[in-house]
Amino acid sequence: MPSFHPEPPFTHGQADRTAVLLCNLGTPDEPTAPAVRRYLAQFLGDHRVVEIPKLLWMPILHGIILRTRPAKSAAKYASIWTPEGSPLAHWTAKQATLLRGWLGEAGHAVLVRHAMRYGNPSIASQLDALKAEGATRILILPLYPQYSATTTASVFDAVYTWAAATRNVPELRFVNHYHDATGYIDALARTIETHWKHHGQPDQLVMSFHGVPERTLHLGDPYHCEARKTGRLLAERLGLREERYRITFQSRFGKAKWLEPYTQPTIEALGKAGTRRVDVVCPGFTSDCLETLEEINMEVREAFLHAGGKEFHYIPCLNDNHHWITALSRVAQQHLAGWPTEAPTAAALADARSHALAGGAPAGVCPVAH
């Protein structure tokens, strides 16, 4: 017999709500080796992230990687941790709060929560919370502009797993990508233009996207093409000639060939070739995190200066930029189309309750939501 989670209590006259769940990758709860170990076990144990048969991969993961990597990674997390905690957790939570306000101002009385694919708050726990708040329609909106099976599809997997253990599954919609959305490209461009207004322009702008194994491209993952399209559209919006910018891929893990060119070797080569100033922006990351603040702004910065470069500028992610929140709200509104998003009136709820009671429904908590 299948086992389903208990349904939240329902009272007739309770409003059916529409909701948006913003989903990001995740972060350890704290910058310690035990917390990082828990996080990496979940992250690197995902078959979407590491496509190696579990029989071969699990002994390597638990026997080697989770014994050696957590302490090193914890030190890196500690270097970017803030009084508010993890930067990625801070910005993701703020984006959810701002999105709720933006949608409200546009007349959409929807619930908005955020969740992490790995770590806390989990996707399952936030879906449970939305159901408890009366959500019967939920839009899943990943904070990944470019689709990848390693990120976007993994979020969808977590939703499917939750749904498989849920008796009364709400209506669900999924946003695959928005890598070429005009508002998203414009928000990126405005962030860069603001930086250049105060600091001048570089010799080279490097757009660094998170890398994935090259084999995923040949197996049909569109991530490489969508990342390059984002880069091209951003360059066009900024009016940059081809020789003024580079599109690269960072965060390579393991020995397999990943998407090229790699970020750090590219920037080191620029330094050795006499390029004086490089600016780096990470368009695929909507919130600053370990990969941007430590890998790019610390490790890659040091590599460029050591290679002979003179000036390195890291341009922060979109974070709580109001142009970005506007763009995100437009993506949400596009995919919410056709769903009721206005708050029901008290009279309408009272009328629905009176009809239910007249039909024999219990006056208190009902075991079945109608």
User: What is the average pLDDT value for the chain, to the nearest integer?
Assistant: 94
Same fold, 10-179+322-346 and 182-315: yes
pLDDT value of residue 367: 59
Does pLDDT of 228 surpass 60?
yes
User: What pLDDT band is residue 255 in, cutting at 50, 70 and 90?
Assistant: confident
Sequence ranges of the domains in the chain: 10-179+322-346, 182-315
User: What pLDDT band is residue 11 in, cutting at 50, 70 and 90?
Assistant: confident
Does pLDDT of 359 surpass 70?
no
pLDDT value of residue 170: 98
Of the CA atoms within 13 Å of residue 169, those in its CB half-sphere come to 13
User: What pLDDT band is residue 14 in, cutting at 50, 70 and 90?
Assistant: confident
Q: What percent of the chain has pLDDT over 90?
A: 89
User: What pLDDT band is residue 350 in, cutting at 50, 70 and 90?
Assistant: low
pLDDT value of residue 3: 86
pLDDT value of residue 354: 62
Long-range contacts of 37-40 (CB under 8 A, 24+ apart): 37/66, 37/70, 38/119, 39/118, 39/119, 40/65, 40/66, 40/69, 40/70, 40/73
Does pLDDT of 362 surpass 80?
no
Q: Which residues of 144-173 are buried (b: 16+ CB within 10 A; e: fewer)?
A: bbbbbbbbbebbbbbbeebeeebeebbebe
pLDDT value of residue 357: 60
* Cβ atoms 294, 76 nearer than 8 A: yes
User: What pLDDT band is residue 119 in, cutting at 50, 70 and 90?
Assistant: very high
Higher-confidence residue of 346 and 28: namely 28
User: What pLDDT band is residue 257 in, cutting at 50, 70 and 90?
Assistant: very high
For residues 324-332, give the mean pLDDT.
Answer: 98
Please tell us whether the domain made up of 10-179+322-346 is placed in CATH 2.102.10.10.
no
Does pLDDT of 315 surpass 60?
yes
For 138-154, the pLDDT digits (tens) are 999 999 999 999 999 99
Higher-confidence residue of 147 and 347: namely 147
Please tell us whether the domain made up of 182-315 is placed in CATH 3.90.1150.10.
no
